[in-house]
Structure 1
Amino acid sequence: MKDILVYTEKLQDWSPAVTYAAGLAATFDATLTGLHVCVSPMTTMPPYDAPGVMENLLEDIRAREDDAFAAGDSFIARATGSGVPRAAWQVATGYLPSVLERIGNWQDLLVLERTANAPWGTTPAISRILLTAGLPCIMLPTGYEQAFSLDCIALAWNGAAEAVRAIHAALPLIRRAKRVLLLQGESRPEFSVSEISWRPEFDIFHYLRQHGAQVEQHPLVTSGRDAGVALLDAADQHGADLLVMGAWGRTRFSEWMLGGATRHVLNHAGIPVFMRH
């Protein structure tokens, strides 16, 4: 985990996501890249050509871009002042999920703060980020002020492929955690229309032990519909600093319609959540 990306809407008055990401990058001796995305002019053009409206709009957008580029030195100073060994600053114009889909190709992890009043802050937009950015994401609750910590990591486990991928991606964090708590729900049966009828066995405890993690098991007795509530309650009960979980174990449509665990956790988590689809 050597390239960490953090998105920030603010310039100069840096968001909690920057503080959290700086602590993470300093811990892993990683490069921290700050990203600010300016609104594309095409999305803000009025439907009519009133005199001066388009010209004024373009001037406002150019001024915003100038401010964004000028904030690079401040971001780098903020990051290096927090112990980050290497920092960089990127400015793009467009729609945030589309920008992340490109820049995520050369990053290891994205840190993102949920901001309810931003166009991308809705659950559908966040789902697009998680599904298209191509890298794991730590989602911070709105206004989260706690410093980065690995005192206790909670792992959401139901045996699904998404859970395996999320835990695999989070191994650098798990290895450094003081406590690793496995929140073990009911295994979900997997169905396939392929001809493969035998699947390799996977022992999550053996897997984590061979990666140096001492795991505490905490069974969750809950229905699938209430899994998100149970996960957050258990993480809070044990004082977890971070929850690791797979995203969208069923189809995205059914998760949205049925109010699945992913959606509930995104909407209600009070701690950072590490997700990977």
Structure 2
Amino acid sequence: MVRRARRCGTAATARRGYAMKNIAVYSESFKAWFPHVEYAIRLAAAFDASVTGVCVCPSPETVMSAHDAPVLVLESIKEARQLMSDAHAAEASFLALARKLGASDAFWQVADGDVPRSMKLIGNWHDLLVLGRTSSPGWGSSSAIGDIVLGCGGAPCLIVPEVHAGPPVLDRMAIAWNGSVEALRAVYAALPMLIRARKVVILNRGGNRASPMDQWLPEFELADYLQRHGVIAQTQVLPDRGGAIGSDLLRAAGDAQADLLVMGGYGHARLREWILGGATREVLEQTVIPVLMRH
């Protein structure tokens, strides 16, 4: 269940051209605001966008067993209701932070249930979903973020590592390109950012086709596509050193002094579970810069 909260400030200005006008940020904590929450708010302010803070509380039925004694069931329900009440009370704190950081159009939403399912719904009515990656267990771990990215129905996700400090900077951006549909979807979602960048580098590891099975498809030149959208990009071919693809991408992005990396989120279904592709997993685990992913 998702409840629409009150808004802060006036309506956003008129939408024109390529725009990123609705940004959501998931916060596992509502007692302290982690750096990725501030990052999302400042990004919304820079794009004159609305920002929605999202907290997900577990439903009572997910934290209790059918074999629990009645007294334990009642205690679980009581704790879940208190957590939900505390989460709603955090609205004032989030809206105050949004005003302080320059976002004039802010919302706070509280959902109960499963995090990936809630993010799939909420993420897809926003232009971007911001997530924070931490070294601690929970929904900020790289594996949990992978579940959200691969399970949220194709919503663009911007992952901000906990080691990243400071406001969003979009001067230099790198694109991990292998010719796949996922990579192109990520590029399309990142266009409002790419248009603002002073320098864009295409890190080409897989050519302009996703696999040998695609040889019958027509050629697609990403640099030409970006140029038609007003983005002048340089192309850099990444040599295959026989090592981890994710590590090579991050090293090349670092050499380019990229402020943000754009890439597709790769995985495949096996026994109804999402198994992260190697490059996706490595980047999520090792990145020190924000990464925009889209499956």
**Same-fold call, TM > 0.5?**
yes
Q: Do the aligned partners of residues 228 and 153 (structure 1) sit closer, same or farther apart at CA in structure 2, a change above 3 Å counting?
A: same
Aligned CA distance change for structure 1 residues 27 and 172 (closer, same or farther; 3 Å): same
Q: CA deviation at 1:242?
A: 0.5
* Correspondence for 1:204: 222
Q: Which is worse superposed, 160-169 or 65-74? A: 160-169
What is the distance in 2 between the residues matched to 1:224 and 1:91?
Answer: 46
RMSD: 2.2
Contact 1:12–1:75 at 8 Å: present in 2 too?
Answer: no
Please give the alpha-carbon distance, in whole angstroms, between the structure 1 residues aligned to 2:145 and 2:162: 13
Counterpart pick for 1:245 among 246, 263, 277: 263
Give the Cα separation in 1 of the matches to 2:212 and 2:21: 34
Q: TM-score, normalised by structure 2?
A: 0.84
Work out whether 1:183 is the aligned partner of 2:235: no
Cα distance, 1:121 vs. partner? 4.0
Give distance in 2, aligned partners of 1:244 and 1:74. Answer: 31
Instruction: Please say if residues 256 and 263 of structure 1, whose CA atoms lie closer than 8 Å, have aligned partners that are also in contact.
Output: no
Output the TM-score relative to the length of structure 1: 0.89
Given the alignment of the two structures, is residue 276 of structure 1 paired with residue 286 of structure 2, yes or no? no
For residues 63-88 of structure 1, give each alpha carbon's deviation from its aligned partner in whole angstroms, at most 9, with x where no partner exists.
11111101111111111221112000
Q: Give the corresponding residue for 1:232.
A: 250
User: Which whole-Å deviations, capped at 9, do the CAs of 1:220-274 have from their partners, x for residues lacking one?
Assistant: 10257621110011111222111000111x6355x948x6111111111111110
Task: Please tell me whether the aligned partners of residues 131 and 145 of structure 2 are also in contact (alpha carbons under 8 angstroms).
Answer: no
Q: Does the 8 Å CA contact 2:263/2:291 hold for their aligned counterparts?
A: yes
In structure 1, what is the Cα distance between the partners aligned to 2:194 and 2:56? 31
5 Å-filtered alignment, 1:110-259, equals: 110-134=129-153, 135-187=155-207, 188-191=210-213, 198-222=216-240, 226-248=244-266, 251-252=268-269, 256=275
Per-residue deviation, residues 38-95 of structure 1 (Å, max 9, x unmatched): 1221121145433632222222221111111011111111112211120000001111
Query: What amino acid maps onto 2:195 in structure 1?
Result: R
Q: Indicate which of 115, 126, 143 corresponds to 1:107.
A: 126
Residue correspondence of structure 1 range 53-72 to structure 2 within 5 A: 53-72=72-91
Moved more, 92-101 or 123-132: 123-132
Deviations 1:99-133 (A, max 9, x none): 11122231111000023444434555433322332
Name stretches of at least 5 consecutive residues in structure 1 with no aligned partner: none
Q: Quick one: distance in 1 between partners of 2:108 and 2:173?
A: 30
Match of 1:16 in 2: 35
Tell me the SS of whatever aligns to 2:124: helix
| Cα distance change, pair 123–74 in 1 and its aligned pair in 2 (3 A) | closer
| Higher normalized helix content (fraction of residues) | 1
* Distance across 1 between alignment mates of 2:294 and 2:68: 44
Structure 2 counterparts to residues 34-113 of structure 1, below 5 A: 34-46=53-65, 48-50=67-69, 52-113=71-132
Change (3 A) 1:55 1:143: farther
User: Percent identity of the aligned residues?
Assistant: 44
- Hey, what's the Cα distance between the residues in 2 that align with 1:174 and 1:157? 14
Look up the equivalent residue of 2:226 and give its one-letter code: L
State how far apart, in whole Å, the 2-side matches of 1:161 and 1:51 are: 51
Alpha-carbon distance change, 190 to 72 in structure 1, aligned in 2, over 3 angstroms = farther
